[in-house]
Chains A and B, each alone.
Chain A
Amino acid sequence: MNQPDSGPAPVLALTDISKSFGAVRALQDVSLHLYPGEAHALAGENGAGKSTLIKTLAGVHRPDAGQVLLDGEPVVFNGPADARDAGIAVIYQEPTLFPDLSIAENIFMGRQPRTSLGRIDRRAVHGATAALMTRLGVDLDPERLARGLSIADQQIVEIAKALSFDARVLIMDEPTAALTGSETARLFSVVRTLREGGAAVLFISHRLEEIFELCQRVTTLRDGRWVASELLGGLTEDDLVRRMVGRDLDELYPKQATTVGGTALSVRRLTREGVFRDVSFEVREGEIVALAGLVGAGRSEVVQAVFGVDKADAGEVHVGGERLRAGSPTAAMAAGVALVPEDRRQRGLVMEASIERNIGLTGLDRLGSGGLVRRALERGRATDWAVKLQLKYNRLSDAVGVLSGGNQQKVVLAKWLATDPAVLIVDEPTRGIDVGTKAEVHRLLSSLAAEGLAVLMVSSDLPEVLGMADRVLVMHEGRLVAELPRAEATEETVMAAATGRLAGEGAAA
């Protein structure tokens, strides 16, 4: 191990922690030391045990063996509240907001400032929330209800919640997975300030460049075991990947050349009042078109209207030349459209249902005849896709809720790829997916496109957009502001359009 041997003692440490869930050994003899003033990365593939480790630190899970040490003393946290009282702020991988409470109420849940009369001081709550939002550089109304917030916005609220008390330890499980570059940059500058003030930070991300940008040390896990704890200074991204995966990795963006065919999806003047306006574009067979933009630009809303889960106020969607009935996902599916939604917990998956049931849900009419569902076909469909996407699971009859975040995302992809679509719309397809599998997903999308599939991809991951897309459409504040062919799409041009510096110019043809 490579730890600073002089200087302060670890503020928080795990020693020889093991944790199993039934037959799944999620952690085995893992140790981790977190020092004040350091940003420490936790790396590993999907299902390596990162979230389990964090939940053990935070008192959500009890370790089967091993100890948690706070300032060198063994502690037993009985739940997240204990951890919080000890000054540990945790941002979990999946946002857990109360949908019927406002953003401000969510952030100050259970510890609202009070007036002298003992009533909740609404104005103070509002003000503090607004201040947090300014600090994070986002424009979210503190009074807005959490219901209906995009995943990225929910993530921001979770971050604000963690920052709202003066934590000595800040633990973040993939906080940036749904964020674009600019929100991430803001978050990092806030985190740096905390770190300089002596706080310890534990950070998880599958975007390796973020790890190198923010952190000084990294601990790598593989299959629930500790692999290495070392300074990032001497490492390359390839070194880190090798630690995580145990082998070298192929190309991350294996873009295949394709021959572009006829128009598969055509969106004409689509409008939803107050959300997006006058959006027109086409996606042709064999083409991967990316929809880029900042968080809140309306990208997810556009694709949801295209698929029909939201009803547009005006405009038309044509698939394969036929006009789609508005507001009917069933009709969209029948026309060969598939949508992998952004929010996997609410919309992508039935969390308490099994892996095979979830994958089967989009093809119930194909799993037998006369409305009957044949178990063997259902299982076969699930098995096929579990193998293709290298799903890490125990049994196909396990609830998807027990899978690691990245593996849940694979199930959502599987469920939609299994419908054999003509137009595939993916909203953040690789959110929370590890580098190795990301490359697999990209390879898959690329080869499907080569076979004539039309792909529309919403992604906040700019390298992914630039690496995979034949064309990049950029949205800014609900309007399509730029259309860039692959050759012209660079980080600068996309960001310029996304931040509105291009507004008015070159709207999509």
Chain B
Amino acid sequence: MNTLAKYLRWDTVVGVLLIAVFLAGSGTTEGFADTANLSAALNDTAEIALIALPMTLLVVAGQVDLSVASMLGLSSALAGSLWEAGWSFELIVPICLLVGALGGLLNGWLVTRVGLPSLAVTIGTLTLYRGLASVVLGDKAIADFPEAYAQWATYTQTVPGTFVPYPIALFAVLAVVTAVVLHCTAFGRSLYAIGAQEDAAYFAGIRVKRLKLVLFVLAGFVASFAGIVYTLRYGSARADNGLGLELVVIASVLLGGVDFDGGKGTLGGAVAGVLLIGLLNNLLTLNDVSNEIQVIVTGLLLVASVLTPRVVTSVSERRQRRAATAAPATA
């Protein structure tokens, strides 16, 4: 049909862009390609990257969860307040994860049983979970978490022999697992079908509601885990940790070519999207570009990612059309 659009898969484009940014950065910016900087840059994306995994599954299935950053904050606040109350960290982590899963369950229940659209539901729980976080911790900041865990989360400790910090190493493993699940399993196939045509999936015997529920629980669970990582990495538990992070996550996933309408996209693309935004922000920071400009750059990239496939399609259509209208004249 239109060859250009067919061969130019967006997730490949993002991958190429990622390499280009890396090469450009190494060429122009001193210190960018240093392993210490790369470790830091990668680790800075840890929470976004982790949450992007279940988010990709959700978006492929035509759903979205805007409450993830609030859940991150709630998990952080909960960890802080329990730690302050003298609980052991080994107990705090499973409690936070449980709360995350329950929050996801609430989202999923409202979407599948009450039948509300996920966008509406999670706008509501975005406010709710952030509010709960404030109730739990107020505007306090709790620090002094156990050194061993804090060390695990910082970029200065890396997997021996590499420049990969532990949170990112964990992310890499989870990303591979998620990619296999999405692309090579019955579960993954079902998600694409649900996202593309929910009725047809239901008529094919797929348990649409149950799968959606699982995805929301997963998203809540991972978001609360990201809350722990965030808390350890910054050494500070606060109710407003990760404010607005959900938009960066969604932007990264969409930038990676996952279609907001559902049914399309790859996990590789989403991961490339996360890394691209992460590297770019790091590069801009190294070049003393202000935070505001960084946000603008991310925004422009996102607009470009949504627009480019459309532009490519319409350009090649117009070209076809011109060829078609030229034909009768020569005939």
Interface residues of A (CB under 8 A from B): 16, 21-22, 62-67, 74, 76, 309, 329-330, 332-333, 339, 341, 346-353, 357, 360-362, 364-365, 367-368, 371-373, 415
Contacts and interface: CB of A to CB of B under 8 A. Distances in A.
Contact of B184 (A350, A351, A372): A372
Contacts of B186: 364-365, 367-368, 371-373
B260 to A, nearest CB: 14
A65 B327 CA distance: 6
Interface of B: 1, 180, 184-190, 192-193, 196-197, 199-207, 263-264, 320-321, 323-325, 327-328, 331
B1 A346 contact: no
Contacts of A360: 189
B197 A76 contact: no
Given A62-B320, A62-B324, A346 B187 contact: no
Contact of B327 (A64, A329, A348, A367): A64
Contacts of B1: 21-22
Contacts of B207: 330
B192 A353 contact: yes
Given A349-B200, A350-B197, A364 B190 contact: yes
B205 A330 contact: yes
10 contacts: A64-B323, A64-B327, A67-B328, A330-B206, A350-B200, A352-B197, A352-B263, A357-B193, A361-B193, A415-B204
A309 B204 contact: no
Contact of B200 (A21, A339, A346, A364): A346
A362 B202 CA distance: 10
Grouping DSSP codes into helix (H, G, I), strand (E, B) and loop, the A interface class, with mixed when no group exceeds half, is mixed
A475 B68 CA distance: 52
Contacts of B200: 346-350, 361
B196 A353 contact: yes
Contacts, number: 95
Given A353-B197, A373-B189, 4 more contacts: A309-B203, A350-B193, A361-B193, A373-B184
B190 A64 contact: no
A371 B185 contact: yes
Nearest to A21: B1
4 interchain residue pairs of minimum CB distance: A364-B186, A333-B205, A62-B324, A350-B197
A329 B203 contact: yes
A372 B200 CA distance: 21
B196 A350 contact: yes
A288 to B, nearest CB: 22
Contacts of B323: 64
Nearest to A65: B327
A65 B203 contact: no
Of the listed residues B185, B202, B264, the one surrounded by the most CB atoms of chain A closer than 10 A to its CB is B185
Contacts of B202: 309, 329, 347
Of the listed residues A309, A350, A360, the one surrounded by the most CB atoms of chain B closer than 10 A to its CB is A350
Contacts of A64: 323-324, 327
B327 A357 contact: no
Contacts of A368: 186
B190 A66 contact: no
A74 B197 contact: no
Contacts of A346: 197, 199-200
Contacts of A66: 328, 331
Contact of B328 (A74, A350, A353, A365): A74
A73 B93 CA distance: 77
A349 B202 CA distance: 11
Of the listed residues B1, B193, B202, the one surrounded by the most CB atoms of chain A closer than 10 A to its CB is B193
A372 B324 contact: no
Of the listed residues B188, B202, B328, B331, the one surrounded by the most CB atoms of chain A closer than 10 A to its CB is B328
